[in-house]
Structure 1
């Protein structure tokens, strides 16, 4: 009987020990499962934030970034407005008026023809043969007739300088002989310069030769009639 009782106590003790071990193992497994589950639980908010940050750009309206209706500085209006060109500067007044250069002797072509009236007169026609206008000095014309000493004297009123356009003519009257002066020298050409400082050009006298005993010249005028009045 004593042996049987010890056997039962031993069995009971082993059973209790087995239950303790089982409980310990169960608790350990539970902790392990909780630990394994913990990373997934803590990672979820991060994943949510990542998803939210990824979705934010795609949810924006692309038309908002380049809209010209916005009041921000990036509206791009400045690129649509071309810069206003600077006004042109006036030309230098170096021998010029309003940027137009003075007419030079070589800029014009010349024709001298004996006039039917008044007698002993010739008409000088000067034409702007260039492609640009030039300022014609009306009173500086120099006429020299070979065989006579000096240049022809001025006669008639002073004219006004004006801009001679391409192809436009100016006229001057030339007196080559006085009726009350005897004698003279025959001439079939004369020299013309727009100013005393310039080299003259030789121009033939159409319908010549003429007898020259005097020399006078008018200013430049806009018509032949005005030039032959004096």
Structure 2
């Protein structure tokens, strides 16, 4: 009887161990399945998800904007694109691209004025077919019988466009009342700039006595030219 009792106990022990192993195996299987599930869900984004995996699959050279390409944005947006060359402008805001007047472009008349005394009026008319820019302050006037050019009197003027047929005026003072002596002259020499050859102009109603000549800049009216 004692042997039979020990045999039954031994069977019971083996049965309990077997049940424990089965339970342990079942628990291990549940654990493996539970740990594998999050990995599967993380690698498969839900529909409509734009997660971090998407940019890594974009081709940087495909020209699209999804991969952060800025090349297309700068060329189409206008903010960073290269500006087209500007249209050619005029020489400056004043002359509008018109060429400078040359001494030979104008016709000149010098006439002794009734007043002020010892004055004459120089009239310069554009005889060309195109307008030109008149250098107002560079007028050179000389008297053939005297050395040197006439001095400047009156305010400085501003270069301005002289249209075809339009005239500009300058005042000439031949002699000062408080200056003694002088030489007789019946013509003057005129150049618009010192770099040009002068043209000879007869003095209407001359001759005149010249001792210390002066000349103004060019003005738009005879009255302004004879003010000084």
- TM-score interval, normalised by the smaller of the two chains: 0.5 to 0.7
Match status 1:161 vs 2:159: yes
Q: Which residue of 2 is the match for residue 222 of structure 1?
A: 220
Offset, 1:149: 1.4
- SS of the residue corresponding to residue 100 of structure 1 reads coil
Tell me, in whole angstroms, the C-alpha distance in 1 between the residues paired with 2:151 and 2:183.
18
Match status 1:139 vs 2:137: yes
Q: Which residue of 2 is the match for residue 170 of structure 1?
A: 168
Q: Which residue of 2 is the match for residue 70 of structure 1?
A: none
Q: Which residue of 2 is the match for residue 185 of structure 1?
A: 183
- Given the alignment, which residue of 207, 210, 219 partners 1:209? 207
Q: Which residue of 1 is the match for residue 105 of structure 2?
A: 107
Q: Which structure 2 residue ranges, 5 or more long, are not aligned?
A: 1-85
Offset, 1:97: 3.4
Q: Which structure 1 residue ranges, 5 or more long, are not aligned?
A: 1-86
1:1-230 mapped onto 2 (5 Å cutoff): 89-90=88-89, 93=91, 97-230=95-228
Tell me, in whole angstroms, the C-alpha distance in 2 between the residues paired with 1:215 and 1:182.
13
Q: Which residue of 1 is the match for residue 23 of structure 2?
A: none
- SS of the residue corresponding to residue 180 of structure 1 reads coil
Tell me, in whole angstroms, the C-alpha distance in 2 between the residues paired with 1:115 and 1:88.
49
Deviations 1:78-134 (A, max 9, x none): xxxxxxxxx98546x49x932100000000000000000000001000000011000
Normalised by the length of structure 1, the TM-score is: 0.59
Offset, 1:209: 0.3
Query: Aligned Cα RMSD in Å?
Result: 1.8
- SS of the residue corresponding to residue 174 of structure 1 reads strand
Tell me, in whole angstroms, the C-alpha distance in 1 between the residues paired with 2:214 and 2:126.
23
* Structure with a larger share of its residues in helix: 1
8 Å CA contact 2:120–2:172 kept in 1: the answer is yes
8 Å CA contact 2:189–2:201 kept in 1: the answer is yes
Offset, 1:147: 1.6
8 Å CA contact 2:118–2:176 kept in 1: the answer is yes
